[in-house]
């Protein structure tokens, strides 16, 4: 859903009084909120209404010079532009943009969710949309319109500031907080979303009032809704006669005064909640303006009438864009309050409606969306290096770029606020999944073909007969050597284990030089017919290596993990006095298991000898599905009946131990005699041999869970209870970018649900000395419901009889089994500070594993093998920096704005092939100011030497976050605050000289890089 923008225009000559009051001016912002998925698929929406919105709006805007409209989601606009718009429509769009009567706001592919999305994916979808708009029209959106995401993150305003926006607009915040801000005229403020970047990336923020982004629909003189003259969209087909349900009463001589009174009364009610006499009046709602003719013809009459009687009404009205409204407010030159980096999460709409269920809804979709994002990240840097190092390659670059673009589009699309949130209907979930799987298939195919090409190009007798990436493992053709190719997508040197599924217990693994590689093989927890082979890999930044996996030949065999199964224990009758404790130890931790219960008992951090009592159990919240009996849980809402209930009375235990790894397998049964378990936890601890850098590996306890299928109206959590005195204070990440402090708050109603927060990548609890960190590979709801506790919601399965949910199939009857992964890190605050950011990214961007079968059995010389396997020069950054993007976007626009605008106006946009010479590079500083004495320091990076392996850098241009502004020409509005009393423009960064840049805490710096010979 979206809020409207304010109309500004002709009145700057009439300078208002300094207090910003005076005659009220209403800015009528025409808009259509178009969900990219939700109840209906994108294709269904295009057919039923979305294509008609753009066709009819463009045609109607041409008929009246005063009319305006804002366009938001680029996915729908681009589909219309590419497949529906005529040449005449396209000409008209160019004209309307030049006249300022059509305005693109946000400009991303979607209006992204703010709670459960990762910063990388928010940037991706914004960059995708902005690149299209700049290439096609030479325009750069400068205002946001985040009217429908369920709560507001502090990361989003920071990103929008970095993208060059002048103002940000949100709507859905806690009902009681909004009422309070409304009463005290505090709905507008300057938001410093990042504590480290503070005023450099602050942004003026407008919170919509209680009417939000839809036109008020009640009108006193008719039982039909008002101001919706085109009615409600009809699915699957638009009605042939053009008559839609619930079309508002047309404006006539007899009712125009009543319409005007209704509209003016609403404008005046809203004006009382804001400091200036400029009133933002959104006109539209979900799926509106599919028949813009009837909309504008009625509103024209109404606006004219009010303006002719403005003395009587005390109001003037005008069509406007969001930019018009914000320009009017900016021109008032008022001094605004500063809001710090606190976000607006969670979000409740009334006492029993806490929108905290969606943090976990459709966990499988959340997991696939993140896996797709991670694969895209790997594929982009892999392809970029290939293009730079193999200019005369046999792979068609244009086709390769289309393969990457299919995944860019799919990952962008699912960031929609009814996508990754899990709040869509089953058929729309299937649409997202299919698009993600198709994009992933394309990128896997591309990466495999690059390996084939690079190895065949070496002409040294080594021919790949097949390369594939799958999740199963090595196919068992015994007469062909099997290779595992492993790519490290991070710009750090990594030491980690990769797991592949094999068909023999006796295996050997060799590297490119024929040296034996440490590995461990053991029975699979999942399958009785296969084994899991764990290979210890050491790979430099953005490089790949090849490992030869052979059935046993002699001494160099992999270690074998030996399994010990323990008797299932009844945990309800456990002997608390005579505990028998079973130790599992590596170089960093000792984990003790209580043999009376088969549950974890404690963890000792060996360096400090600090022991934390720590136990884990699965519980379920039982929730109500009958609206007659009280509040319900659904896709969005979490409304537990009571405290969570333990799910199991008995726990089975198996410990598989070997020289490199120990795996603790726990199975949770509803009672001692149950045949099947619904819950399982697999905990892995690694022992790294001498000579390897095992710091990260040793310091993490990897856990993977198997949860489901659940019974109906159950919400499953993993609760970790410790003896840390945390005072019930929880910390969670904001979109993988920064940390938010979450003190437990007591409410009159619904305290459990209102203390749930989104965990996108990180959550932790701590006492004065020790911290327990949880790192995740997908989003979850997380809470601390007791001192020393942290609980993570892993899965939900719900059904209710609310008619609205039933009509749209939004009841979340999710019968799947989910398999989330969480890594635990325990240690002092200083140690965990050093470990958790690199570890979180190591979990997010695990190595990509490909399998190859090599035919031809000529012996190879070690030198040849070595040279043909590793990218010759790695790309590495220091541990406090992250190479956030290395890609070839393919956009054909000119970096020079005047040139780009000129070529568009002359109709000379570059057609034809994508631009492969421009490389997009983003570098992010991972730490906050003052967080760590060493890692929080600014870092100098020489981009020439960083990228020397890709060629000789000749030009570096620093750009805004999405690439469309040259930072030297980007002048954002500087809003007056008590701290910074002058209004003006703010410049964002110091630019690089001779390709050396200094990256300060929390900065994300974006560059276009060009190499010699391009």
Q: Is 619 helix (H, G, I), strand (E, B) or coil?
A: strand
Token pair listed for 66:
């005063």
CA quadruple 183, 185, 190, 192: dihedral, nearest 10: -20
- Give the burial class of 432: count Cβ atoms within 10 A of its Cβ; 0-12 exposed, 13-18 middle, 19 or more buried: buried
Q: Is 972 helix (H, G, I), strand (E, B) or coil?
A: strand
Q: Where are the alpha helices (DSSP H) in 274-319?
A: 292-308, 310-313
Catalytic residue among 121, 148, 174, 805: 148
Distant-in-sequence contacts of 933-938, Cβ < 8 A, 24+ apart: 935/833, 935/834, 935/879, 935/880, 936/880, 936/1001, 937/880, 938/998, 938/999, 938/1000, 938/1001
Strands 481-487 and 848-855: antiparallel
Asked if the bond preceding 993 is cis, omega within 30° of 0, the reply is no
Q: Where are the alpha helices (DSSP H) in 70-188?
A: 74-83, 87-99, 119-137, 155-162, 175-183
Q: Residue 237 and residue 58: Cα distance in Å, rounded? A: 22
Contact partners, residue 120, CB within 8 Å, separation at least 6:
373, 377, 736, 884, 885
User: Given the structure tokens 């289309």, which residue do they identify?
Assistant: 402
User: How many CB atoms are located within 10 Å of the residue 243 CB?
Assistant: 9
Q: Residue 76 and residue 53: Cα distance in Å, rounded? A: 10
Q: CB of 794 within 8 A of CB of 818?
A: yes
Closest CA to 128 of 73, 46, 54: 73
Closest CA to 1010 of 934, 930, 954, 940: 954
Per-position b or e across 862-895, b if 16+ CB within 10 A of its CB: eeebeebbbbebbbbbbbbbbbbbbbbbbbbbbb
- Give the burial class of 633: count Cβ atoms within 10 A of its Cβ; 0-12 exposed, 13-18 middle, 19 or more buried: buried
Give the relative orientation of helices 363-389 and 397-414 as an angle to the nearest 10 degrees: 150
Q: Residue 149 and residue 122: Cα distance in Å, rounded? A: 13
Q: Is 26 helix (H, G, I), strand (E, B) or coil?
A: strand
What stretches of 676-820 adopt beta strand conformation (E)? 679-686, 701-707, 714-722, 729-734, 738-743, 757-759, 762-766, 770-776, 780-783, 789-797
Q: Residue 788 and residue 486: Cα distance in Å, rounded? A: 40
User: How many CB atoms are located within 10 Å of the residue 12 CB?
Assistant: 11
User: How many CB atoms are located within 10 Å of the residue 221 CB?
Assistant: 14
Q: Residue 909 and residue 902: Cα distance in Å, rounded? A: 9
Q: Known catalytic residue: 148?
A: yes
User: Given the structure tokens 């606190």, which residue do they identify?
Assistant: 342
Distant-in-sequence contacts of 121-124, Cβ < 8 A, 24+ apart: 121/369, 121/373, 121/411, 121/412, 121/415, 122/155, 122/156, 122/159, 122/415, 122/735, 123/159, 123/884, 123/885, 123/922, 123/961, 123/962, 123/1004, 124/373, 124/376, 124/408, 124/411, 124/412, 124/415
- What DSSP state is assigned to residue 200? G
3-state helix, strand, coil split of the chain in percent (to 5) is 25, 30, 45
| The residue count for the chain | 1014
Known catalytic residues are 148
């Amino acid at each position: 859903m979206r809020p409207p923008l304010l109309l500004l225009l002709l009145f700057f000559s009439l300078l208002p009084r300094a207090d910003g009051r005076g005659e009220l001016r209403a800015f009528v912002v025409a808009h259509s909120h178009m969900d990219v998925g939700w109840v209906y698929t994108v294709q269904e929406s295009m057919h039923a209404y979305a294509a008609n919105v753009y066709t009819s709006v463009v045609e109607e805007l041409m008929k009246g010079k005063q009319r305006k409209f804002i366009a938001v989601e680029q996915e729908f606009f681009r589909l219309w532009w590419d497949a529906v718009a005529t040449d005449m429509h396209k000409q008209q769009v160019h004209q309307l943009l030049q006249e300022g009567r059509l305005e693109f706001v946000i400009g991303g592919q979607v209006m992204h969710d703010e709670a459960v999305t990762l910063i990388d994916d928010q940037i991706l979808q914004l960059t995708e949309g902005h690149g299209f708009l700049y290439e096609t029209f030479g325009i750069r959106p400068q205002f946001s319109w985040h009217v429908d995401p369920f709560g507001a993150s502090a990361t989003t305003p920071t990103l929008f500031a970095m993208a060059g926006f002048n103002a940000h607009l949100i709507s859905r915040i806690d009902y009681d907080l909004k009422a309070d801000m409304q009463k005290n005229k505090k709905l507008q403020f300057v938001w410093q979303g990042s504590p480290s970047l503070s005023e450099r990336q602050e942004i003026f923020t407008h919170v919509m009032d209680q009417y939000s982004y839809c036109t008020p629909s009640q009108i006193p003189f008719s039982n039909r809704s008002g101001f919706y003259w085109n009615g409600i969209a009809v699915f699957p087909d638009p009605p042939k006669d053009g008559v839609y349900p619930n079309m508002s009463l047309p404006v006539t001589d007899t009712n125009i005064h009543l319409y005007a009174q209704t509209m003016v009364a609403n404008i005046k009610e809203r004006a009382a909640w804001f400091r200036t006499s400029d009133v933002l009046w959104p006109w539209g709602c979900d799926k509106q303006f599919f028949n813009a003719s009837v909309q504008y013809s009625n509103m024209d009459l109404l606006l004219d009438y009010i303006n002719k009687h403005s003395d009587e009404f005390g109001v003037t009205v005008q069509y406007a864009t969001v930019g018009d409204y914000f320009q009017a407010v900016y021109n008032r030159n008022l001094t605004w309050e500063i809001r710090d980096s606190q976000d607006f999460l969670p979000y409740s709409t009334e006492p029993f409606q806490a929108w905290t269920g969606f943090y976990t809804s459709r966990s499988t979709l959340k997991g696939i969306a993140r896996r797709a994002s991670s694969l895209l990240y790997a594929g982009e840097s892999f392809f970029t290096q290939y293009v730079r190092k193999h200019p005369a390659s046999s792979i068609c670059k244009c086709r390769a770029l289309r393969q990457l673009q299919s995944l860019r589009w799919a990952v962008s699309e699912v960031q929609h606020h009814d996508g990754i949130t899990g709040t869509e209907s089953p058929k729309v979930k299937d649409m997202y999944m299919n698009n993600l799987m198709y994009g992933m298939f394309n990128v896997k195919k591309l990466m495999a073909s690059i390996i084939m090409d690079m190895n065949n190009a070496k002409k040294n007798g080594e021919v790949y007969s097949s390369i594939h990436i799958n999740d199963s493992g090595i196919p068992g053709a015994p007469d062909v050597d099997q290779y595992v190719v492993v790519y490290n997508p991070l710009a750090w040197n990594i030491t980690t284990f990769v797991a592949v599924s094999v068909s023999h217990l006796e295996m050997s693994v060799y590297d490119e030089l024929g040296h034996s590689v440490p590995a461990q093989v053991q029975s699979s927890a999942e399958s009785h017919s296969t084994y899991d082979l764990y290979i210890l890999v050491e790979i430099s930044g953005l490089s790949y290596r090849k490992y030869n996996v052979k059935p046993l030949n002699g001494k160099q065999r992999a270690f074998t993990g030996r399994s010990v199964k323990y008797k299932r224990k009844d945990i309800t009758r456990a002997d608390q006095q005579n505990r028998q404790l079973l130790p599992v130890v590596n170089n960093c931790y000792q984990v003790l298991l209580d043999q009376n219960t088969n549950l974890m008992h404690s963890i000792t951090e060996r360096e400090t000898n600090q022991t934390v009592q720590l136990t884990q159990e699965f519980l379920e919240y039982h929730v109500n599905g009958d609206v007659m009996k009280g509040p319900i849980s659904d896709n969005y809402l979490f409304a537990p009946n009571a405290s969570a209930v333990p799910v199991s009375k008995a726990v089975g235990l198996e410990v598989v131990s070997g020289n490199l790894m120990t795996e603790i397998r726990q199975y949770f049964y509803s009672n001692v005699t149950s045949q099947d378990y619904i819950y399982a936890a697999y905990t892995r601890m690694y022992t790294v041999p001498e000579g390897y850098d095992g710091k990260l590996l040793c310091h993490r306890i990897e856990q993977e869970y198997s949860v489901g299928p659940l019974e109906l109206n159950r919400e499953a959590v993993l609760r970790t209870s410790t003896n840390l005195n945390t005072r019930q204070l929880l910390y969670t990440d904001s979109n993988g970018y920064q940390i938010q402090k979450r003190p437990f708050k007591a409410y009159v109603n619904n305290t459990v649900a209102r203390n749930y927060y989104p965990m996108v990548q990180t959550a932790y609890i701590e006492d004065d000395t020790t911290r327990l960190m949880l790192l995740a590979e997908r989003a979850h709801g997380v809470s601390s419901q007791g001192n020393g506790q942290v609980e993570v919601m892993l899965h939900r399965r719900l059904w209710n009889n609310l008619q609205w949910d039933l009509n749209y199939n939004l009841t979340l009857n999710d019968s799947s089994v989910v398999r989330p992964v969480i890594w635990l890190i325990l240690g002092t605050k200083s140690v965990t500070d050093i470990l958790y950011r690199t570890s979180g990214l190591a979990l997010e961007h695990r190595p990509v594993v490909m399998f190859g079968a090599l035919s031809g059995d000529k012996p190879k010389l070690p030198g040849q093998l070595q040279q043909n396997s590793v990218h010759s020069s790695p790309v590495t950054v220091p541990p406090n920096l992250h190479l956030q993007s290395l890609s070839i976007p393919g956009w054909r626009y000119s970096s020079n704005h005047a040139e780009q605008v000129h070529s568009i106006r002359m109709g000379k946009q570059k057609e034809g092939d994508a631009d492969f010479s421009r490389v997009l590079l983003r570098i992010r500083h991972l730490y906050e100011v003052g967080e760590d004495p060493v890692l929080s320091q600014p870092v100098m990076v020489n981009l020439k030497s960083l990228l020397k392996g890709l060629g000789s850098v000749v030009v570096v241009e620093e750009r805004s976050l999405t690439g469309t502004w040259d930072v030297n020409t980007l002048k954002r509005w500087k809003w007056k605050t008590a701290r910074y009393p002058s209004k003006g423009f703010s410049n964002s960064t110091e630019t690089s000289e001779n390709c050396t840049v200094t990256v300060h805490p929390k900065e994300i710096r974006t560059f276009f890089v060009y190499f010699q010979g391009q």
